[in-house]
Amino acid sequence: MATTTAVCRLAVLTPAPSPSPLASGRRRPAAPFSATSRPRALSAASRGRVLCLAASAPASSTDAGQDRLQKVPITNIRNFCIIAHIDHGKSTLADKLLEMTGTVQKRDMKQQFLDNMDLERERGITIKLQAARMRYVMNNEPYCLNLIDTPGHVDFSYEVSRSLAACEGALLVVDASQGVEAQTLANVYLALESNLEIIPVLNKIDLPGAEPDRIAQEIEEIIGLDCSNAIRCSAKEGIGITEILDAIVTKVPPPKDTLKNPLRALIFDSYYDAYRGVIVYFRVIDGSIRKGDKICFMANKKEYVADEIGVLSPNQMEADELHAGEVGYLSASIRSVADARVGDTITHFAKRAESALPGYSEATPMVFCGLFPLEADQFEELREALGRLQLNDAALKFEPESSSAMGFGFRCGFLGLLHMEIVQERLEREYNLNLIITAPSVVYRVNCSNNETVECSNPSLLPEPGKRRSIEEPYVKIELLTPKDYIGPIMELGQERRGEFKEMNYITENRAKLTYMLPLAEMVGDFFDQLKSRSKGYASMEYSVVGYRVSDLVKLDIQINGEPVEALSTIVHREKAYAVGRALTQKLKELIPRQMFKIPIQACIGAKVIASEALSAIRKDVLSKCYGGDISRKKKLLKKQAEGKKRMKAIGRVEVPQEAFMAVLKLEKEVL
């Protein structure tokens, strides 16, 4: 017992360490005899004994984390998010914040705690955003910190923008060894547009290749943020986490006190629960909401009763009331995700707000492809799986489609290529489906001769040449960040993909930013793979859709034995039509089995053949039984054979095997 007492007295009487010179410029007030000065220095058991002996000392942050439902003044609420490029340590930092504040106990902790899907853990990316409420004590004052963990990829930028609208501050996490990347810039610009307080954090300072001084200077030069007080940390080792928490409290402004105004709450996420219906994640901007209130969604005027409300910490914890500034969830027996769209505004049914919160818009799919089951009897399973997945992912759009080659399937719309890959993998993993996926295409706008505009996501829907006046395709503004050694190969890639060079800026001595205007259709193939290959993995990219432009586009048809195969039709630029047609016809010649008659394989634009291959016939030796005799006998047999082949070619059908379609679709993704 004597030993225990000695340890406890030492812990109580040890002066608080001075703040690290690497922390933010603010100096923490001295607390020379506080038991909470060094919460990480003691084990859980020792800390408990310290609190027993020093009953007058305040509870530590970790212990306070267990009282997350306790109300705090609105001036003590901090709403923040973490923005970073992929693999810069965003999820690891979120894990450490949850652990340090006692929100998640150490025994329950696991890596990427907020990433619930196996796919997120394997790829190391955040696909669905999550929220977590933490309680933190600083200078004996309890604070409520609401972390909204956002995806980092451009395909989910709409979700990111809604998350930023629900916050007042953001941690800008930059890898101290890699520096500023393209998606870091994009998300910072979104945060600046939302007037957020940005706290720069240099992560991974424990790595041998870390150069925090150089990276801090890079952030100042590229983004213009003052990094003289940038926090240097290692989320993996737990270095600098306390400084980050203190900076959130001192630098992020509290929400505005609008408790007396009519209720307005911003929906920043929703998902479908099989038992409770749609669960809505929201941030209360004005007023308050209580359990049992009758609410209304302002975009579609749907009315519901709030059966259950609560906070996310990170698991759902029920509460009776949430007021302005707080973040929580709501369950109201909503059966359709379409009724609770991300970006919509919740208000009271009886006392409605005059106007909705700004920024609501429908998520518009930009990339389309066909999904077909490998086995025809899985069509209904695929329909059911897509329906369920759409309840969790409101951005997914699909409609039935039939193909003479692949049977019945669905035409699906996605926000981008990563979104398409994620949906495909989730369908195959979670619903045990084997799928064939056609080459991705974009939405074209066709200006018809009768002054109508038709949106076309499938080559089979393209109007006849005589009915269309022009075709417009979507363009993107793409920003490429690369070391200066790879500028040449990347500019060559941009020129190959019909890119329009805009500008090049040296953001630092060794790194440059290239800006191109590029057709989206040129990017949905292997553009990203080519970029990484030509830059040895060092370049990064960010893009945004800027609108439509008229282009010289044509429909390329593939004809086998004179019959068009609709499943292999594509829309391509006229300059690339010959190369694509030649590649497809050569590949089909290798894959289609030979028949008893000659098979022409042609790539056509309208009635004009631009590339052609011929599959020679299997020739039966009809002269084998003729030994000697008159030549007229042999001529008669050959003539009879020729007539039979002519008749076979007229009435015969060429069956293109499934393997050939799959190989050609893979080839289309490479050559388009």
Q: Can you say which residues are annotated as belonging to the binding site?
A: 84-91, 149-153, 203-206
Nearest in space to 149 (alpha carbons), one of 27, 323, 314, 387:
314
For residues 401 and 436, is the Cβ–Cβ distance under 8 A? no
Place of tokens 């329950």: 108
Distance CA 423, CA 598 (A): 42
Please report which residue ranges of 472-613 form alpha helices under DSSP H: 487-496, 520-523, 527-534, 574-591
* Residues forming a β-bridge with 231: 201
The DSSP call for residue 368 is E
Q: Are the CB atoms for 490 and 480 separated by under 8 Å?
A: yes
- Smallest CA-to-CA distance from 456 within 70, 68, 447 is with 447
AA identity, residue 500: E
Amino acid present at 318: E
Q: How far is Cα 394 from Cα 299, in angstroms, rounded to an integer?
A: 15
| 169-175 and 77-83 strand pairing | parallel
Q: What is the DSSP letter of 484?
A: G
Cite the annotated binding site for GTP by residue number: 84-91, 149-153, 203-206
Q: Distance (Å, rounded) from C-alpha 416 to C-alpha 288?
A: 37
Distance of CA 108 to the CA centre of its chain: 27
How far apart CA 398 and CA 410 sit, in angstroms, is 6
Cβ 550 vs Cβ 472: under 8 Å:
yes
Q: How many CA atoms lie within 13 A of 168 on its CB side?
A: 22
- Residues 14, 8: Cα–Cα separation, whole Å: 10
Tell me if residue 270 falls in helix, strand or coil: strand
Q: How far is CA 9 from the centre of its chain?
A: 52
Amino acid identity at 276: R
Instruction: Name every residue whose Cβ is closer than 8 Å to that of residue 524 and which is 6 or more positions away in sequence.
Output: 367, 417, 440, 441, 442, 672
Q: From the centroid of its chain, how far is CA 660?
A: 32
Cis check: omega of the bond before 314, within 30 degrees of 0: yes
Longest dimension (CA), the chain: 124
Q: Using an 8 Å Cβ cutoff, are 327 and 282 in contact?
A: yes
What whole-number distance in Å separates Cα of residue 244 and Cα of residue 239? 10
Tokens, residue 140: 């004996």
Return all residues near 393 (Cβ < 8 A) that are at least 6 apart.
423
Helix axes of 2-13 and 44-53: crossing angle, nearest 10 degrees: 80
Q: How many residues does the chain have?
A: 672
- The partner residues of 132 in beta bridges, in order of sequence, read 147
Sheet holding 169-175, edge to edge: 130-138, 141-149, 77-83, 169-175, 197-203, 231-232
* Residue 423, H or E segment: helix 417-430
Q: Are 4 and 12 in contact (CB under 8 A)?
A: no
Instruction: Give the Cα separation of 242 and 37 in Å (integer).
Output: 11
